[in-house]
Every structure is written in C-alpha cells, then in structure tokens.
Amino acid sequence: SDLQKQEERGELLQPLIFVLLVLCSILLYFKVSLMDPGFVKPEEEEGEDKGQGVIPQIPGDVKLRRCGYCLVKQPMRARHCQQCQHCVRRYDHHCPWLENCVGERNHPLFIVYLSVQLVVLLWGVHVAWSGLYFEQSWEWLQHNIFLLVSFLLILIFTIVVLLLLVSHLYLISCNTTTWEFMSHHRISYLQHSELENPFDQGIILNLWRFFC
C-alpha cells in the first residue's frame, strides 16, 4: 500500500516526530501549570531557602519579613502572588498563559517547555513556508489565504516565544529573576547590597545551579 511505501522510504518519520513534539509540549504545559511552583508553607523554618541561601554580600541588617497577606515568613527571594494567594520561593513571574506562578520548582521545566514549543513553532513555520508559492493574482490569494494567515500567526508566536526564551536564559545566566530585574529598586535585599546582583556567581555556575 501507499502507507507501507512511505514508511519504507522514511517519509512517515518526520510527521511522527512532529506529533511527538506537540504531545510533549502539551504534557509539559500541564505539568508546569499544575505543579507547585515553590509555595512557602507556614510550617517551614525561617532560615530555610532550599539552595538559594543568603550569600555573604547580603548585608546582615536585611531581615526576612512576614508576608502581610498569608502571614508566612518569607525566605530570601520569595514574593507573594496576588493571583495564586501564596508566597512563592525564588519568584520569577505569574504567567497568565499557565494560570500559575513560575518559581523555584517549575522554572527549569518552564524553560524546557519554551524550548520544545519553539522547536514546534519553527517546524510549523518551515512547513507553512514550504507550502506557499507566490503569484500576483486574486485567485491565488483566495486559494492560499488560510495558509498565508496561518504562516503569519505562527511566525508571530515564534518570535514571541524566542524572545521570551532568550530573555529568561539571559536572566538565568545572571542568577536573577524577572521580578528582581524589573523591581530592583524596590527590593530591600538588593537596595542594601554593595553589588548590583549579589547572587551572580558566574555564568557557568549560575546555569549549573539552576538546571542541576
């Protein structure tokens, strides 16, 4: 049959890989959106910071404070999220697409999700572009308008995901978060530090500690 011939020629391998990547991105989406991003539990000790501990450059007069909303003692780099109604360890941001915070526990998986999604989108751009052949006629536009619009939408999503992934990788390489980068002037442990970024330990060590 035609299907067997296509399988023998290896023509079914690429569609199969594409479908698997799409399924992987969907599973990662639900995993990141449903998992605990690193909520601070009331029973946890004040000094615990799960590997993100206070390093010597942080002034001693900066004390951990009690959250005014959920009344837990906030570890260093934690922040209360109004949408989730919890304090989140190593808070990065609240993602409206995930309806969840990105924090200490799910941030690495969030990066993996963005990477897989970018591969899927780039593949989609390639497929849509390969199906286009341009002619300057109204009839051509009528027959290809759906494919053309799809190509433009996928291209826009690809650019957005690429910029988001690059910006996160840059912040990770500096060992800072989106919240710390955007609100540096309002965060007490950064205001009183002699260094602009007291958590930076070099690109290699920053990446190693984040992913490993």
Question: Virtual CA dihedral for 174, 178, 179, 181, nearest 10 degrees?
Answer: 50
C-alpha closest to that of 31 among 83, 95, 86, 106: 106
C-alpha closest to that of 54 among 153, 185, 188: 188
Q: Which of 84, 87, 95, 212 is catalytic?
A: 95
The strand pairing partners of 95, in sequence order, are: 100
Is-catalytic flag, 95? yes
The CA distance from 107 to 37, in Å, is 8
Residues classed as catalytic? 95
